[in-house]
Structure 1
Amino acid sequence: MLPAPSRAQRTALPPETLDPEPGPGSAAIATGAPPAPASAPRASAPVAKPRDPYFDNVKYLAIVLVAVAHSWEPVMGDSRAARAVYMIIYTFHMPAFILVSGHFSRSFDASPGRMKRLVTGVAVPYVVFETAYSLFRRYAGGEPDAPITLLDPLFLTWFLAALLIWRLTTPLWRTLRHPLPVALAVAALASVSPGIGNDLDLQRVLQFLPFFVLGVLARPEHFVRVRRREVRLLALPLFAAALAFAYAVAPHLQLGWFYRSDSAQELGAPWWSGVTMTLLMFGCALLLTAGFLSWVPARTTWFTKLGAGTICGYLLHGFLIRGAEYAGLIDGNAWLSGPAGLALVAVMAAVAVTLLCTPPVRRVMRFATEPDMAWAFRSSPAGR
């Protein structure tokens, strides 16, 4: 096993992208290269585990889809084609992001070092950006009475609250004999429980839970298998069929099913439909996620380095979208709902989130997204 990276090396990488379980040849397995011999001598100095370009590519492309979907939401209007594409993106973009997050959380064991990373990489950014979005809504959005609370995540900050909860439960999922069926049962029960409430967006946390658990269970070789040529070829008719189906049902299917933030009863549906839709949506999301992952390049590309800054792109692009709404750039502009307008919005969102993922932005925002906070934690026995 490679020696653990030093504290300085670990904090130089975003906590959600570090592989906490770097066994012999694990990086090679994820990239398709032959593993190093198990008898290789231990390095004399701690070194950081090499980043796998495949997962950085996955995260960048997923965050672009997140930004495009968020930018389309207020402008797509009654466009049936746009609604169908929007439904396809929402079926798999967050499940893919959550699955990768679960994969890199699979060795979380509540040890002091990992608890520190959880606080500095997830809890602190949640507090900072939840407060920032609330203040932005109050002063830029013209809602002076808007509350500032950490219990009701605003806009996209729900993911940080969810990741905090999911990661704390990781040891449980690694202990259970059948973790994925249990997680699906939890999600199904949540979908028929309107009394869960909005604290920490718990409804969404529980309904998205199976994708995190699946990521915890996934091994590097699973991501190699999904990139096989036959899977890529099958992904093309799969997405074509999904788009045709989405276009057919777009006028009739509520978007709330894709957000997973409400129970079936709150969506005006019978309780049993919550269980049915939970299983159907999980199956559809799993298929489309596999199709998406199969086409992500495993080699280093021009956008690979941007995958390390997806936390900045995710947390900052919401200010641009909400700012455009608050400034009145969207309401009453029917042209944006047309094909040319939607294409322009998508390109602008993709360019904006790409710029927000660049190293300069990441360095500037490190105080909020990757703070060191050594002053808040006891030093390790080795450090003392």
Structure 2
Amino acid sequence: MSQPIVTTGEAVDTAPATGTTSPPAPARQRDAFFDNAKYLAIVLVAAGHAWEPLRDGSRTVSALYMVVYAFHMPAFIVVSGYFSRGFDARPDRLRRLVTQLVVPYVVFETAYTLFTRWTDQEPDRPISLLDPLYLTWFLTALFVWRLTTPLWRWVRLPLPLALALAALATLSPSIGDDLDLQRTLQFLPYFVLGLSLRPEHFRLVRRRAVRIAAVPVFGCAFVVAYWAVPRMTGAWFYHRDSAEELGAPAWYGVVMTPVLFVCSLLLVACFLAWVPGRRMWCTVLGAGTLYGYLLHGFVAQSAGFWGWYDPVWIHRPLGAVVVTVVAAVVVTLLCTPPVRRALRFAVEPDLRWLFRREAAEPARDRAAVRG
């Protein structure tokens, strides 16, 4: 039987701050299901990046790559939306936006720019905080999505509206690269969907019947992807370009947006159906997936520079298996508590000194001392 989902974090923390004295809230219990889901998703992200140099020589790897890219980031974004349901303009929420998204973005955008000057041999590559480099786009997108959360809670039919915006984005090659707005808009429906979900929706996909049905669904997805590899570009699943930039007529984007959304959502549901709901050895790593996400890119960039893909055997089936295992091990290590403690200053900095204290905070502190 599936374990009940315990909503945590911003999804339920919606009470406004006041100056009244109240007993300290008990520590929030993390839900093992979501931590397991985040860990498995970050392993797929790392595997996908590791497969990129292998795609040209293997149609099978290309098909697996296409299937994984169809759902791994949508899964992350749906879960991010689910845990953003309680976001509002409270000062503590805005402070967390700065410390958990803005500051890490500045740090890692700068770090990746400096690092890729070396790995890409482009010593003059400028540091541009408006043009996210490599995987830092997710931080800017999540920042925008969370800021707009109150709007999506107020409007009627938020998901159709988000899909319409995503479709319009595919018609607009002039959007440009500022804050990777094209990708932010095209992935927006998944975040808005997450805002609309409730615990019972996750219980539905965790039923035994869904787990069984997920097997043929993923099998069919692989067959379709294998057929599609020589016939279409997998860049549609990156959601970073307009239809015209992908070499298709503009109206293709309007059609592909809902089609890709439905396909990705089906695979996300099947993926979540397979996620264990009990605590496992990897559950604790779910709290460190942002570390794995932001750090594994340095390893992926180094692999090409150091010629790790040059040996011929790497491009054979055994090599693809080895690359996958190595990617999984590396990203697993990067999610571990020791790495989190060592790099917390960059990923989750403590910047309380930077902000003014709310008027209610001294009163709470005095009450805590008296208590």
On whether the aligned pair clears a TM of 0.5, the verdict is: yes
Give identity over the alignment, percent. 59
| Conservation of the 8 A alpha-carbon contact between 2:8 and 2:29 | no
C-alpha deviations, 1:20-49, integer Å up to 9, x for none? 13389xxxxxxxxxxxxxxxxx98432221
Aligned to 1:66: 45
- The residue aligned with 1:199 is 178
How far, CA to CA, are the matches of 1:43 and 1:85 in structure 2? Answer: 52
How far apart, in 2, do the equivalents of 1:199 and 1:104 lie?
A: 26
TM-score for both structures, normalised by structure 2: 0.92
What is the alpha-carbon distance in structure 1 between the residues aligned to residue 152 and residue 174 of structure 2? 25
User: Which residue number in structure 2 is paired with residue 162 of structure 1?
Assistant: 141
Contact 1:63 1:314 (C-alpha < 8 Å) held by counterparts: yes
**Which residue identity lines up with residue 293 of structure 1 in the other structure?**
L
The code of the aligned residue for 1:19 comes to G
Q: What's 1:255 paired with?
A: 234
Pick the aligned partner of 2:313 from 335, 338, 355: 335
Given that 1:77 and 1:337 are in contact with CA atoms closer than 8 Å, whether structure 2 keeps it comes out as no
3-state SS in 1 of match to 2:10:
coil
Aligned to 1:208: 187
Higher deviation after alignment, 319-328 or 164-173: 319-328
Mapped contact 1:152–1:201 kept (Cα < 8 A): yes
How far is the alpha carbon of 1:188 from its aligned partner?
Answer: 0.4
Q: How far off its partner does 1:226 sit?
A: 1.0
- Provide the residue aligned with 2:10 in structure 1: 20
3-state SS of 1:49 partner: coil
Other-structure match for 1:35:
none
Give 1:314's aligned residue. Answer: 293
- Secondary structure of 2:79's counterpart equals helix
5 Å-filtered alignment, 1:24-103, equals 44-103=23-82
Alignment partner of 1:372 is 2:362: no
Aligned residue-pair number: 350
How many Å apart are 1:70 and its aligned residue? Answer: 0.6
Matched residues in 2 for 1:319 and 1:55: separation? 26
Contact 1:54 1:298 in 2 (8 A): yes
Instruction: Tell me how far 1:372 sits from its aligned partner.
Output: 1.3
1:76–1:342 Cα contact (<8 Å) kept? no
1:140 CA drift (Å): 4.1
**Is the CA contact 2:67–2:221 (under 8 Å) kept in the aligned structure 1?**
yes
Q: Could you give the per-residue CA deviations for residues 154-213 of structure 1, whole angstroms, max 9, x where no partner exists?
A: 110000010011100000100011000000000000011100001111111100000000
1:150 deviates by 0.6
Aligned equivalent of 1:239: 218
Of 115, 126, 131, the match for 2:94: 115
TM-score w.r.t. the length of structure 1 is 0.89
Using the alignment, how far apart are the partners of 1:22 and 1:170 within structure 2? 14
Q: What is the distance in 2 between the residues matched to 1:124 and 1:221?
A: 35
Structure 1 residues 23 and 315: CA distance shift in structure 2, 3 A: closer
3-state SS of 1:20 partner: helix
Q: Mapping of 1:160-309 within 5 angstroms?
A: 160-309=139-288
**In the alignment, is the contact (CA less than 8 A) between 1:91 and 1:285 conserved in 2?**
yes
Give how far 1:144 is off: 0.8
Deviation track 1:52-105 (CA, whole Å, cap 9, x = no partner) reads 111000100000000000110122223111111110000000000000011111
- Name the SS for the 2:78 alignment partner: helix
**2:235–2:246: 8 Å Cα contact kept in structure 1?**
yes
Distance 2:296 2:326 in 1: 11
Deviation at 1:366, TM superposition (A): 0.6
CA contact (8 A) 1:22 1:49 kept: no
- Bigger mean CA offset, 321-330 vs 186-195: 321-330
Structure 1 pair 162–295 and aligned structure 2 pair: CA distance change class (3 A): same
Partner of 1:4 in structure 2?
Answer: none
Quick one: which amino acid aligns to residue 21 of structure 1? A
Note if contact 1:203-1:261 (Cα within 8 Å) is conserved in structure 2.
yes
Q: Which runs of 5+ in 1 are unaligned?
A: 1-16, 25-41
Check conservation: 2:12, 2:86, Cα contact below 8 A.
Answer: no
- Seen in structure 2, the aligned counterparts of structure 1 residues 276 and 112 have a Cα distance that, compared at 3 Å, is same
| Structure with greater proportional helix content | 2
